[in-house]
Amino acid sequence: MKHLTLAAAMLALTAGMAQAQQDTITLGMVLEPPNLDPTGGAAAAIDEVVYANIFEGLTRFGPDGAVLPALAESWEVSEDGTVYTFHLHDGVKFHDGTDMTAEDVVFTLDRARAEDSTNAQKALFTGITGVAAVDPLTVQITLAEPNGNLPFNMAWGDAVIVAPESIDTAATAPVGTGPFTFTEWVQGDHVTITRNDAYWGAAPALASATFKFISDPNAAFAAMMAGDVDAFPNFPAPETLSQFESDPRFKVIVGSTEGETILAMNNKLAPLDDIRVREAIAHAINRQDIVDGAMFGFGTPIGTHFAPHNPDYVDLTALSAYDPEKSKALMAEVGEIPALRLMLPPPSYARRGGEIIAAQLREVGIETEITNLEWAQWLEQVFGGKDFDLTIISHTEPADINIYARPDYYFQYDNAEFQALIAELGVTSDPARRSELNKQAQEMIAQDYVNAYLFQLAKTGVANAKIEGLWENAPTQANDLTGVRWTE
Amino acid sequence: MRLNAQLWIGAALTAVFLAGAVLSFVWTPHDVTALNIADKLRPASSTYLLGTDHFGRDLLSMLMVGARTSIAVALVAVGIGLGLGVPLGLLAAATRGSLIDEVVMRGNDLIFAFPSLVIAILITAVFGPSALNAILAIGIFNIPVFARVSRGGALSLWTLDWILAARVAGKGRLRISLEHILPNIVNLLIVQGTIQFSLGILAEAALSYVGLGAQPPLPSWGRMLAEAQTMIYTNPALAILPGLAIVAMVLGLNLMGDGLRDLLDPRVRRARA
Amino acid sequence: MLRYAFSRALSLAVSLIVASVVIFAVIEVIPGDPASYMLGLNATPEAVDALRDQLGLNGSLVSRYLSWAGGMLTGDFGLSYTYKVPVADLVAQRLWVSLPLALYALALSTLIAFPVGLIAAARRGTVTDYGIMGATQLGIAVPNFWFAMLLVLVFAVNLRWFSAGGFPGWSDPGAAIKALTLPAVALALPQASILARVMRSALIETLGQDYIRTARAKGLSRRQATTRHALRNAMIPVLTIIGLQFSFLLAGAIIIENVFYLPGLGRLIFQGITQRDLIVVESLVMLLVFAVILVTFLVDLAYAAVDPRLRRRA
């Protein structure tokens, strides 16, 4: 009897909470942003909180990855393709009440491309030679040479518009133009944002939203199950998704990301400077086992560094099909090689995938030595110091095959032919030619077995079944809440 | 009667795990490093006596090799404590009240003052996670424990008449420490060693649970728990069995330690009578 | 007594200095550059170097140690690399989780251990005693993080009585205490087991002493003798253990805080290590060491006040 009343009281309590929750939402995130200034740090977690919610750029990414107008309602390009004129929306205000004008755009872009800029994506701004305010609502950007990608570049979280008055506090108290204003950040726990009633665009349905940081997959699962979190757009425990699918309280949202998950190899360091060793590794890997074992079936096998949902994608998986006999034959030709150092960053695709790959390589006689690294160590030792043989990482930036044209990039692929190809791609605006170049690039890196291409990371999200409007795919790292609402 | 029961139950539990660990060197039901994704998350069956994990590895084999990892880490950590702590404790006792004694004892206090788990995490973060660094991190905190125990035991011996007699007979302090003191504190050290051994198992489990112990593909109980955590709802055996293994092993050692203390320490025996 | 207190205070100071040097040295060796971590994957080397300058990471070792140690003395713990807020604020914020959690767990542990230890001592040698002793053995052998997992499984996921983790803040004290309940239980179980055993043996020891026998001979019942005399004398070792457990709970909750994702001190250290927020790590470890050394110092003084024989040791 006593238990019954307790249970009844609990029910009443939770029901009451559900009532009050109609226009607020709690989202789970794996990583906490180190700060909240997307123009001063590259951590994806920053964009996952602020992109499209607090900060907006001249342009923005839509849910399907298309570049849409944002603060700039339209733009045109000069004949020779070197001058872009952006026309800003009228009546846009920052959250502190000041007007957003062309001067703020000039300030933002000048700051981002300055010598001492700590913007992590400075490459987005490299071709820009001048930014000028024509009038309060018109901005002109001058380029050194034509770049059809400028509107795309301006859509990134690193290019959002900030104001000189509030930039000093952006790291802890961001002030933007978006539909939500920053409310509080309890470090180590959550960030809360509240609807901006003075927003220039369509008002969002949610009155407020809380981003809760839960890095432990088990805690994430428990929080979701217990209803502490309403949605977890990038759920860290794929092994539990079947559990959510069978529970009517939840829905599982599976979409695509821009994350090519690769077994990166150090192309300059022996023995991986030998293409036969790299090819042997590629043929020793059974992608389906990795997708099944590490991702519990979520993920699409890829054969090159390109997203399968992209129209220009070429399926090259056959080039590196699972063929352990071929691997053994190649390795017999090469002879003995020392154990390879396999460095694994924290995400479960890397840790679990690494164990599977180590076992698959052992089958063909290639020994590995696994080291688990925290992100900071991985960035310093692998990404910065290039002190590794193998590593597993998902490259989540959109359309980033051009990293193979950077010989100093951590996997150190140095091919002049490929670099020329990417250079041509950078100045080509004809869609047919661009598509052809993209395909050539994909084939070139696949034939050189630069890295072993594993699978396209799936976006596996879990949400309360009554929530709609969350992004299904992840064309960029963001949790755009403008269209999110509770149904009932 | 009870004394024997405690000792025997403890010894039996410990023996089971030791046997499993030793056996795992020559034979396990299945290969623990070979993955078999097609057979993942199987329930217990005649092929897989305790079922398989998320990579299709045999759980029983994993537990056996995991016992080996735990025991090895804890044992070597105890060895570090004994090897460095006992000489320091004996030295401090032999030179009682001297500067050496003071430095040793203050050093001990200092190590005791450090929050051990935090420091263990720091050490593994500095030198990289591995079984070896876990051993070091645990072993360091064993040094002051053994130094204190052996100093305390030795001090009470130094006041005994026959030790004084040996001293008068011209034997040096070093010789007395080795010939007379050490053999008489062995009982104390065995009891303390058993306790530190069980604490070491717990510490190793905690470290590998947070990913700072033995690295894959070497199985360890703590990491098995961490990996199975999200599957506790669908495959509870994966998260429950390694936990039970830790509990049983630690319980066995503690019971054995208590039983040994009762058996070896005459003071306790008298109190019980 | 004063001389003793002074000499102990001196060694306290020396310990703190040695500890600060050790901590600083260890932190310096940690691989991983906070600046490159903060800027992420595609950061240019110039951006990283600019940030290193901003953070004051380019100074010499000695000057950095002195400014850190000097700052600690004046209560200025520096600025967190990752959060860009004063470390002291972060610590204060986290203390509001860790301190109540430690006290909660300690209270639970004491509440369980006292009656249990008392009963075991009173019923010494009976089945009850053996049962209790067996149960405490089990309690000591259970890893607290595994126990926490089981608690979450039963009480948060299946019964849904408690939330699985997180901390709602103290604006609603009821909710805050509820959120700390499962972690406190997970932390308290092994501590209560240890404490109950200490309690039992301390009681048995005092019960065997002459003055208790005298009291019994004077006609006091065993229960009266226990509560009036033995309990008071048995408190000395029990209180020592409680003191030690408190500092352990403050620092040792690190894994439990992770299981329940509580924003406490332990998790702050762990986050600090993984994010290379070294200033947070070194300041926090130093604070915890200070807390433990201080507790030991106070316990020593209390002992000396009670037992004059100890003062001669110094």
The answer to whether B74 and B138 are in contact (CB under 8 A) is yes
A449 or C46, higher pLDDT: A449
How large a percentage of chain A has pLDDT more than 90?
61
Return the H-helix or E-strand segment holding A68: strand A67-69
What would the pLDDT profile of B241-261 be if each residue is shown by its tens digit?
Answer: 999 999 999 999 999 988 888
Least confident residue range of A153-167, A246-260, A348-362, C75-89: C75-89
* DSSP secondary structure letter of residue A348: H
Q: Decide: helix, strand or coil at residue B190.
A: helix
For B60-107, give the DSSP string: HHHHHHHHHHHHHHHHHHHHHIIIIIHHHHHHHHHTTTSHHHHHHHHH
Mean pLDDT throughout A86-94?
A: 94
Q: What pLDDT is recorded for position B109? A: 79
Q: What is the mean pLDDT of chain B?
A: 86
C102 or B211, higher pLDDT: C102
Q: Is C167 on the interface with A (CB under 8 A)?
A: yes
What would the pLDDT profile of A323-340 be if each residue is shown by its tens digit?
Answer: 999 999 999 999 999 999
What would the pLDDT profile of A404-413 be if each residue is shown by its tens digit?
Answer: 998 989 999 9
CA A299 to chain centroid: 15
Sequence-distant (6+) residues with CB within 8 A of C111 are none
User: Which residues of chain A does B56 touch, with a Cβ-Cβ cutoff of 8 Å?
Assistant: 293
Mean pLDDT throughout C213-230?
A: 72
Distance from CA of A77 to the nearest CA of B (A): 52
Cα distance between residue B134 and residue B200, in whole Å: 10
Cα distance between residue A244 and residue A222, in whole Å: 11
Is the pLDDT at A283 greater than 70? The verdict is: yes
Q: What pLDDT is recorded for position B43? A: 86
Least confident residue range of A238-242, B74-78, C159-163: C159-163
Cα distance between residue A88 and residue A73, in whole Å: 6
C36 or A354, higher pLDDT: A354
Top residue of A239, A244, A246, A348 to mutate, by most chain B CBs within 10 Å, is A239
Burial of A98 (0-12, 13-18, 19+ CB in 10 A): middle
Q: What pLDDT is recorded for position A8? A: 46
Closest CA to C266 of B199, B116, B86: B116
Sequence-distant (6+) residues with CB within 8 A of C79 are C85, C86, C87, C279
Is the pLDDT at A10 greater than 50? The verdict is: no
Is the pLDDT at B86 greater than 50? The verdict is: yes
CB contact under 8 A, C36 and A10: no
The answer to whether A178 and A55 are in contact (CB under 8 A) is yes
- Provide the pLDDT confidence category of residue C57 given band limits of 50, 70 and 90: confident
Mean pLDDT throughout A85-100?
A: 94
**Residue C159, both tokens:** 């019964």
CB contact under 8 A, C38 and A375: no
CB contact under 8 A, B55 and A372: no
> SS3 letters for A382-419?
HHHCCCCCEEEEEECCCCCHHHHHCCCCCCCCCCHHHH
Q: Decide: helix, strand or coil at residue A180.
A: strand
Distance from CA of B183 to the nearest CA of C (A): 27
Cα distance between residue B54 and residue A444, in whole Å: 36
CB contact under 8 A, B112 and C270: no
Q: What pLDDT is recorded for position A466? A: 93
Sequence-distant (6+) residues with CB within 8 A of B263 are B3, B7, B269
- Provide the pLDDT confidence category of residue C41 given band limits of 50, 70 and 90: low
Q: Is A240 on the interface with B (CB under 8 A)?
A: yes
User: Which residues of chain B does C15 touch, with a Cβ-Cβ cutoff of 8 Å?
Assistant: 106, 109-110, 113
Mean pLDDT throughout C173-194?
A: 92
Q: Is C175 on the interface with B (CB under 8 A)?
A: no
Tell me: cis bond preceding B217? Omega within 30 of 0 counts.
Answer: yes
Residue found by looking up tokens 């990289």 in the block: B128
Q: What is the mean pLDDT of chain A?
A: 89
Least confident residue range of A210-219, A435-444, B212-221, C230-239: C230-239
Is the pLDDT at A438 greater than 60? The verdict is: yes
CA B103 to chain centroid: 27
Mean pLDDT throughout A296-316?
A: 92
Is the pLDDT at A187 greater than 70? The verdict is: yes
A vs C: CB pairs below 8 A: 145
Q: What pLDDT is recorded for position B273? A: 35
Cα distance between residue A454 and residue A301, in whole Å: 6
Q: What pLDDT is recorded for position A456? A: 94
- Model pTM? 0.80
What would the pLDDT profile of C287-297 be if each residue is shown by its tens digit?
Answer: 888 887 887 78
Distance from CA of B124 to the nearest CA of A (A): 11
**CA–CA–CA angle A430, A436, A442 (5° rounding):** 135
Mean pLDDT throughout B268-273?
A: 44
Q: What pLDDT is recorded for position A65? A: 82
Q: Decide: helix, strand or coil at residue C202.
A: helix
Is beta strand A208-213 parallel, antiparallel or unpaired with respect to A180-186? unpaired
Return the H-helix or E-strand segment holding C51: helix C45-55
Is the pLDDT at A14 greater than 60? The verdict is: no
CB contact under 8 A, A187 and C51: no
Q: Which one-letter amino acid corresponds to residue B123?
A: I
What would the pLDDT profile of C155-178 be if each residue is shown by its tens digit?
Answer: 877 787 887 777 877 888 988 999
Q: What pLDDT is recorded for position A88? A: 95
CB contact under 8 A, B55 and A356: yes
Give the Å distances, CA to CA, from A121 to A83, A149, B17.
21, 14, 55
User: Which residues of chain B does C11 touch, with a Cβ-Cβ cutoff of 8 Å?
Assistant: 106, 109
CB contact under 8 A, A172 and C46: no
Cα distance between residue C121 and residue A391, in whole Å: 59
A59 or A425, higher pLDDT: A59
CB contact under 8 A, B217 and A356: no
Distance from CA of B226 to the nearest CA of A (A): 9
Cα distance between residue A307 and residue A319, in whole Å: 17
CB contact under 8 A, A293 and B215: no
The answer to whether A229 and A212 are in contact (CB under 8 A) is yes
Considering just the CA atoms, what is the radius of gyration of chain A in Å? 24
CB contact under 8 A, A187 and C93: yes
Residues 196-215 of B with CB under 8 A from C: 198, 202, 205-206, 209-210
Is the pLDDT at C182 greater than 60? The verdict is: yes
Cα distance between residue A182 and residue A191, in whole Å: 8
Q: Is C200 on the interface with A (CB under 8 A)?
A: no
Cα distance between residue C139 and residue B147, in whole Å: 28
Residues 328-357 of A with CB under 8 A from C: 346
Q: Is B5 on the interface with C (CB under 8 A)?
A: no
Q: Is C274 on the interface with A (CB under 8 A)?
A: yes
Residues 319-358 of A with CB under 8 A from B: 351-352, 354-356, 358
- Provide the pLDDT confidence category of residue A219 given band limits of 50, 70 and 90: confident
Is the pLDDT at A212 greater than 70? The verdict is: yes
A95 or B105, higher pLDDT: A95
Q: Is B159 on the interface with A (CB under 8 A)?
A: no
Q: What is the mean pLDDT of chain C?
A: 81
What would the pLDDT profile of C256-303 be if each residue is shown by its tens digit?
Answer: 887 887 888 888 888 787 777 778 888 888 888 888 788 778 877 777
User: Which residues of chain C does A262 touch, with a Cβ-Cβ cutoff of 8 Å?
Assistant: none
Residue found by looking up tokens 């293409």 in the block: A275
The answer to whether B10 and B245 are in contact (CB under 8 A) is no
Cα distance between residue A461 and residue A232, in whole Å: 6
Q: What pLDDT is recorded for position A16? A: 43
Least confident residue range of A66-75, B66-75, C202-211: C202-211
User: Which residues of chain B does A322 touch, with a Cβ-Cβ cutoff of 8 Å?
Assistant: none
Cα distance between residue C266 and residue C94, in whole Å: 9
Neighbours of chain B (3+ CB pairs under 8 A): A, C
Cα distance between residue B203 and residue B195, in whole Å: 12
Top residue of B37, B57, B225 to mutate, by most chain A CBs within 10 Å, is B37
For the four alpha carbons of C245, C249, C254 and C257, in that order, the dihedral sign comes to positive
Q: Which one-letter amino acid corresponds to residue A469?
A: G
Q: What pLDDT is recorded for position A223? A: 83
The answer to whether B78 and B87 are in contact (CB under 8 A) is no
User: Which residues of chain C does A186 touch, with a Cβ-Cβ cutoff of 8 Å?
Assistant: 93, 169, 263
Is the pLDDT at C214 greater than 70? The verdict is: yes
Cα distance between residue B35 and residue A363, in whole Å: 10
CB contact under 8 A, C281 and B206: no
Cα distance between residue A443 and residue A287, in whole Å: 19
Residues 356-385 of A with CB under 8 A from B: 356, 358-360, 362, 370-372, 374, 377
Q: Decide: helix, strand or coil at residue B50.
A: coil
Of the partner residues B113, B210, B225, the one whose CB lies closest to the CB of residue C293 = B113
Q: At what angle do helices C278-306 and B99-113 cross, to 10 degrees?
A: 120
Top residue of C29, C30, C36, C41 to mutate, by most chain A CBs within 10 Å, is C41
Give the Å distances, CA to CA, from A471 to A48, A67, A230, B126.
12, 15, 15, 40
Cα distance between residue A378 and residue A345, in whole Å: 6
Q: Is B231 on the interface with A (CB under 8 A)?
A: yes
What would the pLDDT profile of B163-196 be if each residue is shown by its tens digit?
Answer: 888 888 888 888 888 888 898 899 889 989 998 9
Neighbours of chain C (3+ CB pairs under 8 A): A, B
